[in-house]
Amino acid sequence: MKFNDAVFGAIFLVLGLAIVVHVQSFPAIPGQQVGPALFPGLVAAGLAVCGVLLIASGLRHRSSQPWFVAEAWTRSTRHVAGFAAVVAAVAFYIAFANTLGFLVVGPLILFGLFVMFGVRPATAALVAVVATLVIWYAFYKLLRVPLPWGVLTKFAF
Amino acid sequence: MEALATAFTMVFEPHTIVVMLGASLFGLFVGAVPGLTATMATALLVPVTFFMPPITAIAAIVTATAMAIFSGDIPGCLLRMPGTPASAAYTDESYAMTRKGQAELALGAGLVFSAIGGLFGTAVLIASAPVLADFALRFSSFEYFWLVLLGLSCAIVITSERPLKGIVSLLLGLLVACVGLDNPAGFPRFTFGSTELMGGVGLIPMMIGMFAVSEILRYAVETGPKLVIDTRPIGNVMRGMWELLKKYPMQVLRGSTLGTLVGALPGAGADIAAWMSYGISKKFSKEPEKFGTGHVEGIVESGAANNSALAGAWIPALVFGIPGDSITAIVIGVLYMKNMNPGPTLFTQNPQNIYAVYLLFIVANLIMVPLGLLCIKVAKRILTVPREILMPVILLFCIVGTFAINNTPFDVGVMLVAGLLAYVLEANGFPIAPAILGVVLGEMLEENFVTSMIKSDGSLLAFFGRPIAATLGALTLAAWFLPPIIRRLRTLAGA
């Protein structure tokens, strides 16, 4: 996922300008010249300038730097799926940990990722359960982190 | 003296010792597995240290990082794959030594001179930190403003081949630091109505994302060939070390000194120290033609440099609250959580804590030798640990660890976004270290800037009104303008 510098430059230019505009709505502090808008405003202005410079450098190196280069892994389904699976696993946790509970979500995430990375299903299932229990014991029992019980709430201990 | 005695009891109590041993094994393991870095070790430790007393927490981080920087040499030597970026500088060299049947010498040199470099850096830390702290007590907001800005500028000048990308990375970090209520005006900025963002973007979730989740993503898309381990048994690695020390005393001293200095400069850590040291070692060597063919000299020098950089990075972190590398950037977050706010007052009000940190460094570098020997013995087993099982488990650990800090799933989201961003930025040549520094130092920079502006009634001249502030200001401007001028002169001279 390599992009030409100009692509990043454009993103940072827009982001910088948007922030510069947005901070104008911040209130001034009566009797003072410096308000909450000054610092982020300066930083965002700097970002916008860097954006322009990046656009310039990207266009200058246009011949050696195409708009977008797909690295080797983007042509391998297994690797793309692996990348997506890591992101999906975290998203799945955020979405379902509270309703399903850690002891359900944990093994599911681990099993899914293990299989995705090529672990044999039987091994994957066993390690998924054991690893979840170890992490659960360390954080819930020893460190007293309130990991959610979810559907298992009535069995909570 | 009484404080020193207290420090001894704090460090040598059973709980801390057990934690240090555990952290050592953890650090050795993380360092030895390619793709897991010393910074990642620190990020993964934070959720656990959250539940420890301050000194024990610092003990865990100090020992784990020292061990990880050493054990990063092991896969470099046996697999030609650095365990941590800090070993990358001399990976080819040590692998060439293994091919010549000198794996013992390469590993031994890595271990022994890591410990010596670490102790050297610690000695400099002990000698210089109190002096600097004494000096820093007189600093006002003007001096702090320039000091932070100088630190941030150094980070860009040293770390990036392309300063523009470093600056962008820094500015993004500074903007992230602006989110929330924590600004001099107490006005909620960039919160988009979210109550969770009122307190700002959590530092620890962000660090775990940037240093651990991004590595897992990188593992997921790794297409390199399978690594082959050299199967010859490893003999006695301590043989010949004394001869090496007698043969290369200058190199050890030079590597340790440079490492400590580079470590103390904000933004540059053990990896850059090792690269620079290796280069210098080759340049000043009597036999530079042997470099790259399996010659131990460069390993001696840069192996000492990367471990001394670890201790060096703590100097500005403890005295000014300005991290010397990414590891101390995380450490500063931990210190604040533990109410051990870094700064010169740490030295005057609670000297026993500072003495305890010194002791921890000494102990960590001493136990590194026996534990490192143990690690080398089982190295081949660590290197064959199935990463397809390890990485998902680390991901679940990251999720739970992030959740543990504030017990909110929102932080897990922050972690994911930070991980993705770090991955994309790094893949496109934007360095990550300046962004981290921006996030950690943004609040301090703004606060001192605004305070100074109010004091000076908006006049920028006042920023140069005090002698120390003027010096720091001049240095900062030099860091900005000298490198491009020198580059321009060089091209003119060449043309």
**Element (DSSP H or E) covering residue B156:** helix B141-159
Question: How many C-beta atoms lie closer than 10 Å to residue B467's C-beta?
Answer: 9
Where a domain ends, among A69, A88, A114?
Answer: A69
Mean pLDDT of A30-51: 90
Instruction: Please give the pLDDT value at position B277.
Output: 93
> Could B395 and A89 be called an inter-chain contact, meaning their C-beta atoms sit closer than 8 Å?
yes
Please identify every stretch of chain B with a pLDDT value under 50, giving residue numbers as ranges.
none
Task: Measure A62 CA to nearest chain B CA, in Å.
Answer: 15
> Which structure tokens are listed for B288?
């530079």
Residue B92 backbone phi and psi in degrees, to 5: -60, -40
Is the pLDDT assigned to residue A1 strictly greater than 80? no
| Residue A43 sits in the same domain as residue A113 | no
Between CA B366 and CA B361 the distance in angstroms is: 9
User: B159: which 2 tokens?
Assistant: 């770390």
pTM, full prediction? 0.88
Helix axes B54-71, B297-320, angle to 10 degrees: 160
- Report the greatest alpha carbon distance in chain B: 71
The partner residues of B417 in beta bridges, in order of sequence, read none
Please answer whether residues B307 and B68 qualify as being in contact, where contact means their C-beta atoms are separated by less than 8 angstroms.
Answer: no
Torsion angle, CA of B66/B67/B72/B74, rounded to 10 degrees? 140
Are A50 and A120 contained in the same domain? no
Contact assessment for residue B91 and residue B327, using Cβ atoms and an 8 Å cutoff: no
- Name the 3-class secondary structure at A3: strand
Q: What is the pLDDT of residue B292?
A: 85
- Listing DSSP states for A101-152 in one string gives -HHHHHHHHHHHHHHHTT--HHHHHHHHHHHHHHHHIIIIIIS------GGG
Measure in Å the smallest separation between the Cα of A59 and chain B Cα atoms.
15
What are the φ/ψ torsions at residue A68 (nearest 5 degrees)? -145, 130
Which residue in A1, A135, A143 is closest to B51 by CB distance? A143
**Residue A82 structural domain:** 73-155
DSSP string, B233-285: PP--TTTTHHHHHHH-HHHHHHHHHHHHHHHHSTT--HHHHHHHHHHHHHHH-
For A137, the closest chain B residue by CA position comes to B400
Q: Are B119 and B108 in contact, with CB atoms under 8 Å apart?
A: no
Interface test with A, best of B226, B387, B393, B407 (most A CBs within 10 A): B393
B131 to chain A, any CB pair closer than 8 A? The answer is: no
> Considering A25, A46, A69, which residue would you say is the last residue of a domain?
A69
Judge contact between A15 and A76, C-beta under 8 A: no
What is the structure's pLDDT at B484?
A: 79
Cβ contact B141:B455 at 8 Å = yes
Token output for B99? 């091919």
Residues A8, A41 share a domain: yes
Dig out the tokens for B134 from the structure.
Answer: 């004494």
Mutation site for B-interface testing, chosen from A39, A96, A113, A145 by largest number of B Cβ within 10 Å = A39
Interface contact B392-A39, CB threshold 8 A: no
Per-residue pLDDT band for A45 (boundaries 50, 70, 90) equals very high
Token pair in block for residue B110: 């890595």
> Do B479 and B153 meet the contact criterion of CB atoms below 8 Å apart?
yes
Burial of B442 (0-12, 13-18, 19+ CB in 10 A): buried
Asked if the Cβ–Cβ distance from B168 to A93 is below 8 Å, we say no
**Residue pLDDT, tens place only, A57-101:** 899 888 777 788 777 787 888 889 999 999 999 999 999 999 999
Distance from B66 to chain A by nearest Cα, in Å? 25
Which of B298, B293, B383, B304 has its CA nearest to residue B97?
A: B293
Q: How many domains does the structure of chain A reveal?
A: 2
Picking from A25, A43, A69, the residue at the C-terminal end of a domain is A69
Tokens of B21: 């041993």
Among chain B residues, CA nearest to A79: B221
Which pLDDT does position B160 carry in this prediction? 61
pLDDT recorded at residue A123? 94
pLDDT tens by residue, A17-28? 999 999 998 888
